Amino acid sequence: MEYESIDEFRARAGYDIDGVWYPRVTSILSIKSKPALLRYYGGMRSFKAADDVKEASAREGTLVHEAVEAIARGEHPKIDSNAQPSVDAYLEFARNNDIEPLMVEERIISRQHGYAGTIDMLARVNGVVGVLDIKTGKRMYRDYGLQTAAYMQALRENPDIPTPLTSWVLRLDQCRICELCGVSLRTKGGTFRVSAGGKGCTHRWGHMQGQFEFQEMTDTEHNLRAFLASKVLWEWEHHDWLSQVV
């Protein structure tokens, strides 16, 4: 990511907290290669077209995050129709699991390692305390474990909250299913993608429906080491900007 000024770098790459600037977890992880993202850009007609879809998808994901986080806080938000199926998937997950949110959309700091982030939730899920991260991408990625491990470390440094024992990713998505052949149609950011299969089918798409996938992120210590290694590389890459942070 390119920055035009030190003020932009400070605002977009980190947080000022109590007079100290900390890099964000998500900024640090931007240094890691993402093969799926490269394939996505390579499959689009232009870089701008890919960026436009990516930004539109991010806006749609934000709608889902905001609704789910409001629900977790006990509120009754007005839900955008574009996000409703994914939010319904979250409600289905919540009905089938015992979820007690302990922290929702809160900024956390690792003073030991010098970074900060904003967690979706620290929650007690079926009796176990852990980080619960919400994603709206089309599949689970191993990279998510680096992010949740960084959050776990920051939370474990705080003696005033329950210690997270694990972390999970809850992936929320939505699609239409063909009533004839069973393949799915996923619309995100203005694009239309049909899953593999159904060759020769004329397709009769059903209504948009939400889906969820829930996965525990294991191997936390290994993931934390990988995150901290990413931080070293990120600091090397942004040395000039970091030298101006005061």
State residue 46's pLDDT score: 75
State residue 153's pLDDT score: 98
Between helix 144-156 and helix 220-237 the angle, nearest 10°, is 100
Q: Is residue 88 part of a domain?
A: yes
Q: Is residue 67 part of a domain?
A: yes
For residue 238, pLDDT beyond 60 = yes
Model confidence, pTM:
0.90
The CATH number of the domain holding residue 176 is: 3.90.320
Domain span at residue 197 reads 6-242
CB 202 within 8 A of CB 81: no
The number of folded domains in the chain is: 1
Q: Is residue 74 part of a domain?
A: yes
State residue 233's pLDDT score: 98
State residue 223's pLDDT score: 98
Q: Rg (Cα) of the chain, in Å, rounded?
A: 19
Q: With cut-offs at 50, 70 and 90, classify the pLDDT of residue 146.
A: very high
Instruction: Summarize the confidence of residues 180-191 as an average pLDDT.
Output: 84
What percentage of the chain has pLDDT greater than the value 90? 78
28 vs 36: CA distance, rounded Å = 18
State residue 43's pLDDT score: 67
For residue 5, pLDDT beyond 80 = yes
Q: Is residue 1 part of a domain?
A: no
The pLDDT tens digits for 197-224 are 878 899 999 999 999 999 999 999 999 9
For residue 40, pLDDT beyond 60 = no
93 vs 86: CA distance, rounded Å = 11
Q: Is residue 202 part of a domain?
A: yes
Higher pLDDT, 66 or 40: 66
For residue 37, pLDDT beyond 90 = no
